[in-house]
Structure 1
C-alpha cells in the first residue's frame, strides 16, 4: 500500500509575463512541473490575450491559478521601487486581481491565490501598512483566496490578522539575509545560479525549516510554497530537476487546499 509523504510543498511559478510582441519564459513546458501559477495582470507584464492563454494552459495542466499584481512598471518589469500610499496599493491590487478573476470566470474557473510581484512584494514584506492594504484588497475581492507572501514577513502576519489563509513562501534561486529577507537583486550573490546549490537550499528549508543566510547564519523559515522564476535562464531544466529532487526526497508537491 502506498503511503502519502508526510512532507508537502506547493511549487509556484510566475507566468504569463509576455505582452505584445515581447515573449517571456516557457510557460507551457514549465506548467508540467508546478502546482500553482502566478499570472501577470498587465502592470509589469502580461496583456489580455496572454492572460487568457495562460489561464487556459493552467487549467489544461490542472495547475491552480493565482493573480500576480505589480506596481505599474512595464519598462522596469515591476522591479523598481515606487513611492505609493497604502490606498494606492489597495486600488492596484483590486484592479489587477479583479481583471484576472474575470478572465478565469470566462473559462469556468476561479482564482486560488494572490501573490504580489517584484518590488511591491518586497516593499510590503517590510512595510506593515502596505501589507495590510494588499491583504484587505485580496479579502475584499474574495475572502477565500490564499495570500502568498514571504515567510516570516508582514504579508503573512497581515493576512492572518484579516482572516485570510496564508502560504509562507520560500525561494530556491535567491539568497537570504540574517533577518529572513531576500538579498536585494542589486547586491552581489542575490541570485543562486547553481542548480545543486539551489536544490540543497530547498531540501533543507522543507526538511529542517532552516535556511543559511549569506553571513552563514541558520535562519528559521516556514516553507508552504516554493517559487520558481519563469523568466530565469534555464527555468525549465531547473523546474524539472527540482521536481525530481523533491520526489526522491519523499516530498509531495501539491497546491494548498
Structure 2
C-alpha cells in the first residue's frame, strides 16, 4: 500500500573550493528536489556556487542558502561564540551573496538551511537562534527555514510568522532526545544505502519530517541518494520540493 504523502529530498552542494573538489553535485542534482548550496562562509568559492546554481536551475531543483559560521578551515563544524548582531549580519550577507549568484543564472534562493555547527547550536541556543530569525525578518521577504523538529530556531521563526520546514537526516543517527549524534562518535553516520532507505520509508510513513537530507559530501552519496529515492517512490511516496 502506498503512502499518501509528499517528501522533499535535499542535499548539501556547492562545497568545493578552488582545486579542492568535494562530492558529485551534477549527479546529486538528478536525484534531489532541493539543493542546500553553500554560501561561502564554510565552503564554496564564487565560481563553484555559480556553476552549482546554474545546474540546479537547469534541472528545476530549488536553491536554498546554506549559511554557517565564518569557518572555512573547520568546514563550519566548530561552534563560534559570536555576538547576536554579528551573526544576524553574517546570515544576511550570505543569503544576499548567494541570491545574487542564483539570479545571475536565472534562479533565486527559495529557503534557508543553517549548516553544521550553526545548525546544531540553534537547536537549543536561544540567542543564536533568534539572531538567525532576525536575519530572515530583515530580508525583503522572509525565507522558509529548514531545521530539526523541536528546535529553538523553528519555534522562534514560527512565532514570527516565518514558514518552518522540518528535516530528517537519512544518513545520520539520532540520540534518544531527537538530536543528531555528534560527528566525532563512530556511530554518527550511516553508510549502508539499504538501511538508509528503510529508515527513509519508515520516517515518511510516520510523518517525521517534510524534507529528508542526505549529505552530498559523504562517501557513496550518489548511490545512497538513488537508493533512498527509489525506495520512497516504490513505497508510493511523492517526491517534490516544499517550495513552489
TM-score, normalised relative to structure 2? 0.95
Deviations 1:191-237 (A, max 9, x none): 1122222122221111024xxxxxxxxxxxx3111111000000011
Deviation at 1:181, TM superposition (A): 0.7
Name the residue aligned to 2:238. Answer: 252
Structure 1 residue 143 displacement after superposition? 2.8
Name the SS of the counterpart of 1:113 in structure 2: strand
**What is the match of residue 71 of structure 1?**
69
Q: Unaligned stretches of 5+ in structure 1?
A: 210-221
Q: Find the counterpart in structure 2 of residue 191 from structure 1.
A: 189
- C-alpha distance in structure 1 between counterparts of 2:124 and 2:111, whole Å: 21
CA contact (8 A) 2:196 2:224 kept: no
Q: Shift of residue 20 of structure 1? A: 1.0
Distance 1:92 1:85 in 2: 11
Q: Which residue of 2 aligns with 1:52?
A: 50
1:139 aligns with 137
Q: Contact between 2:23 and 2:216, CA under 8 Å: does it hold in 1? A: yes
Q: What secondary structure, in the 3-state scheme, does the structure 1 residue paired with 2:75 have?
A: coil
Three-state SS of the structure 2 residue aligned to 1:229 is coil
Aligned residues between the structures:
242
Residue 142 of structure 1: CA displacement?
4.0
Alpha-carbon distance, 1:92 to partner: 1.2
2:6 alignment partner, SS class: strand
| Deviating more after overlay: 224-233 vs 199-208 | 199-208
Q: Determine whether 1:223 maps to 2:209.
A: yes
- Between the aligned partners of 1:141 and 1:81, the Cα distance in structure 2 is 25
2 CA distance for matches of 1:180 and 1:85? 27
- Report whether the alignment pairs 1:172 with 2:170: yes
Mapping of residues 96-111 of structure 1, within 5 Å: 96-111=94-109
Q: How does 1:126-165 map to 2 (within 5 A)?
A: 126-165=124-163
How large is the Cα RMSD of the aligned pairs?
Answer: 1.4
SS of the residue corresponding to residue 24 of structure 1 reads coil
> C-alpha distance in 2, partners of 1:165/1:143?
11
Distance in 2 (CA, whole Å) between partners of 1:226 and 1:109 is 22
CA distance in 1, matches of 2:23, 2:137: 30
The question of whether the paired residues in 2 share the 8 Å contact of 1:136 and 1:162 is answered with no
Q: What are the Cα deviations for residues 119-171 of structure 1, in whole angstroms up to 9, with x where unaligned?
A: 01111111122111112212312434210111221121121011111110110
Tell me, yes or no, if structure 1 residue 122 matches structure 2 residue 120.
yes
Matched, 1:207 2:193: no
1:92 aligns with 2:90: yes
1:32 aligns with 2:30: yes
Paired residues of 2:36 and 2:63 also in contact (CA < 8 A): yes
Distance 2:89 2:111 in 1: 17
Q: Gaps spanning 5+ residues in structure 2: where?
A: none
> CA separation of 1:166/1:96 partners in 2, compared to 1, >3 Å: closer, same or farther?
same
Counterpart position of 1:219: none
Structure 1 residue aligned with 2:222: 236
Distance 1:199 1:86 in 2: 38
